[in-house]
Chains A and B, each alone.
Chain A
Amino acid sequence: MTTRVIKVDALARVEGEGSLRVRIKDGRVKELQFGIFEPPRFFEAFLVGRDFREAPDIAARICGICPIAYELGAIQAMEDALDVQVPQPIRDLRRLIYCGEWIESHALHVYLLHAPDFLGLPDALQLARQDRELVQRALRLKKIGNDILEVIGGRPVHPVNLKVGGFYRVPTRRELLRLADDLKWAVEETLATVRLVAGFDFPPLEQDYTFVALRHEDEYAIQEGRLVSNKGLDIPVRAFLDHFDEEHVRHSNALHGTMKAVQTPYKVGPLARYAINHDKLGSLARQAAGAAGLGAVVRNPFQSIVVRAVELVQACVDALALVERYEPPEAPAVPVEPRAAEGHGCTEAPRGICYHHYRLAEDGSILLARIVPPTAQNQKIIESDLRKVVEAHLDLADQALQWRCEQAIRNYDPCISCATHFLKLTVERE
């Protein structure tokens, strides 16, 4: 009888701190824990008592990789509470800056964090030694995402220009048009990205996932829509808490997401969005996906890298169209008056849906805050993928098994800073 223990104390190439502990006995996984030991920061507690206008900038500090998801989620919830409608140009600018965050985050993950796993390299710097030009193109793509964030938001990490009601200042048409040539290059480059990553080897793994994503009638949903699953759920954002729950488990400082009705884990992020919104992809992205051999639904999480690349095409195409048709709004923001109210917001962060809920007092002070980040929602699914990966690869030596597990975790581009609400791997073989 043999016992194996695989233990990763601090996972690399993820955002934040996590760990993995696996105990294997007689060829079966006896115990598997994906732990998040990122220390808690208590955002939902210290948002209480703050002014509603402060929430976007404070919530942004949950995550340096996807601050727009937190800023816009909070803004949307406040606008929902205070019955604020923003005009189309402001909505367009928000989608554009969100495309910037998707491009930056997906380019970072596809090339610098995830691709090295498929190439058997420890990091993108080693990749640069083999193919410097490839990594330079990847960095240029990432920079184009950041350029959008800078032009509209002032800076890539924690942009300063977004507020409840709109923006402090809107860019001129000329400022945005300067991005157009780079975006045209980026569209071509992301098509090449899809071809590149489609050629990787994908370890076999398929599960009948419950996918949950936003869906919008007119576009590949990013900043608004209804919450839709592939198993019949179709609800407005405000009903989120009626259908989803969070559990607090001992091995993680991030609350685990579950669906109330069925008590099952669910999956958010690129595969979920792709499955729910395949018909909303533009023709270029859809053709690229088809040429890469993807069907309308992708169930192998290792292929998430291809789906992210397809989403990169979509984000660049959308960003280019938004830049070209931009006309500045009459005013950078619409007026907002506080009152006692309650509001909900949900957007598609690069890693999946990110839900916000606030209750406000008459003077606009926050009485209650609740934020459900994507990685917290994916924790249970990550554990369930890992169980299957370990059982399918018991023949691998500990080191190779550990790497495969890490790769399976990176399928989710987990943002552990966000979820703590990252990785230590322990494998015990008995």
Chain B
Amino acid sequence: MAETRRPKLAVWKFSSCDGCQLSLLDCELELLAVAEAVEIAYFLEATRTVGKGPYDLSLVEGSITTPHDVQRIGEVRRQSKLLVTIGACATAGGIQALRNFKDIKGFIDRVYAHPEYIEALATSTAIADHVTVDFELRGCPINKNQLLELLSALLNRRKPNIPTYAECIECKTRGTVCVMVAKGEPCLGPVVQAGCGNLCPAQGRGCYGCFGPLGNLPNTAALTAQFAAMGMDRRDIQRRFRSFNANAQAFRKESEAYDD
């Protein structure tokens, strides 16, 4: 019996920690099933086989930080029918986007003895700032269950069921007591997209924003006013918004309001 053609999957890496593509290998119980449902045509972290494009689905990890990246992402887009970005680096520029708020030259000088050997853009930016992206999977790192849901949905030509409500809702559905109300812990839950599985609040810790800003204009100003009322100083408030999703527009804007 002739095999029907399996969709070709490619996994691409730009500037990142490799944690999001590792999440695919972390699907231990489902990995072999995934590998049978698709043809893994390009996934350097897992195989030295390099299959030619075009690809049915490209997963893109990492942010754009070099002139070469800009060219390469254009080529990936041309070779891909669907392009999905995975993780905070790809969807918002990642932690390395902290350079966007500073002078890159100072950064290079601080880390490298020969700054002239280093080729880097002044900014770290999301993939969607450069090419059309069909779907974004948030998180630092992504949640592997969301990745499996996404793959399953795309293979079955349905819409992925990825909630875009606030992290607060995960506390409510899980029955986690609000850490901000009960313990006075600063928490980004009201302005951050759900998806991690309620990790920090369930450990008694305030959400620190791995999944980035809620889609529809999160009310960050109301939250920071509450932070201030709890006694946090301006620098601490700014630091909360300057982490893995610092360059996402809503967080960027809020943190810039605290530039003194």
Interface residues of A (CB under 8 A from B): 10-17, 38-46, 48, 50-51, 54, 57-58, 61-65, 67, 108, 112-113, 122-125, 128, 132, 135-136, 139-140, 142-143, 146, 154-158, 160-161, 167-169, 247-250, 253, 255, 403, 406, 415, 417, 421
Is the beta-carbon distance between B102 and A46 smaller than 8 angstroms?
A: yes
Chain A CB within 10 Å — which of B69, B111, B118, B205 has the most? B111
Q: Which of A39, A51, A146, A249 contacts B239 (CB 8 A)?
A: A51
Cα of A332 to Cα of B238 in the assembled complex, Å = 28
Cα of A157 to Cα of B141 in the assembled complex, Å = 6
Q: Given A54-B239, A122-B49, A123-B47 in contact, is the A157-B19 Cβ separation under 8 Å? A: yes
Q: Does B255 contact A (CB under 8 A)?
A: no
Q: Does B23 contact A (CB under 8 A)?
A: yes
Q: Which of B20, B46, B124 contacts A13 (CB 8 A)?
A: B46
Q: Given A46-B98, A112-B46, A123-B49 in contact, is the A61-B244 Cβ separation under 8 Å? A: yes
Is the beta-carbon distance between A46 and B45 smaller than 8 angstroms?
A: no
Q: Within 8 Å CB of B106, what residues of A?
A: 45
CB within 8 Å of A: which B32-55 residues: 32, 35, 40, 44-50
Interface digits, B110-136 against A, CB 8 Å rule (1 contact, 0 not)? 111110011010001000000000000
Q: Within 8 Å CB of B20, what residues of A?
A: 64, 157
Interface size bucket, B side? 35 or more
Cα of A406 to Cα of B44 in the assembled complex, Å = 13
Is the beta-carbon distance between B47 and A44 smaller than 8 angstroms?
A: no
Q: Given A40-B108, A46-B102, A248-B113 in contact, is the A15-B48 Cβ separation under 8 Å? A: no
Is the beta-carbon distance between A248 and B112 smaller than 8 angstroms?
A: yes
How many whole Å from A369's CB to the nearest CB in chain B? Answer: 9
Is the beta-carbon distance between B203 and A65 smaller than 8 angstroms?
A: no
Is the beta-carbon distance between A63 and B47 smaller than 8 angstroms?
A: no
Is the beta-carbon distance between B17 and A64 smaller than 8 angstroms?
A: yes
Q: Within 8 Å CB of B14, what residues of A?
A: 39
Is the beta-carbon distance between B95 and A154 smaller than 8 angstroms?
A: no
Cα of A123 to Cα of B114 in the assembled complex, Å = 38
Q: Within 8 Å CB of B202, what residues of A?
A: 154
Is the beta-carbon distance between A248 and B199 smaller than 8 angstroms?
A: no
Is the beta-carbon distance between A61 and B208 smaller than 8 angstroms?
A: no
Q: Does B26 contact A (CB under 8 A)?
A: yes
> 12 pairs across A/B with beta carbons < 8 Å?
A13-B44, A13-B46, A46-B95, A58-B95, A61-B17, A112-B25, A125-B46, A128-B32, A154-B200, A160-B199, A248-B114, A253-B118
Q: Within 8 Å CB of B99, what residues of A?
A: 42, 45-46
Cα of A64 to Cα of B196 in the assembled complex, Å = 16
Q: Which of B21, B47, B50, B203 contacts A160 (CB 8 A)?
A: B203
Q: Within 8 Å CB of A58, what residues of B?
A: 95, 243
Is the beta-carbon distance between B18 and A154 smaller than 8 angstroms?
A: no
Q: Within 8 Å CB of B102, what residues of A?
A: 45-46
Cα of A16 to Cα of B210 in the assembled complex, Å = 21
Q: Which of B13, B17, B114, B200 contacts A62 (CB 8 A)?
A: B17
Is the beta-carbon distance between B18 and A64 smaller than 8 angstroms?
A: yes
Q: Given A64-B17, A125-B35, A248-B112 in contact, is the A39-B47 Cβ separation under 8 Å? A: no
How many whole Å from A155's CB to the nearest CB in chain B? Answer: 6
Q: Within 8 Å CB of A14, what residues of B?
A: 44-45
How many whole Å from B112's CB to the nearest CB in chain A? Answer: 5
Closest A residue to B113 by beta carbon equals A248
Is the beta-carbon distance between B140 and A160 smaller than 8 angstroms?
A: no
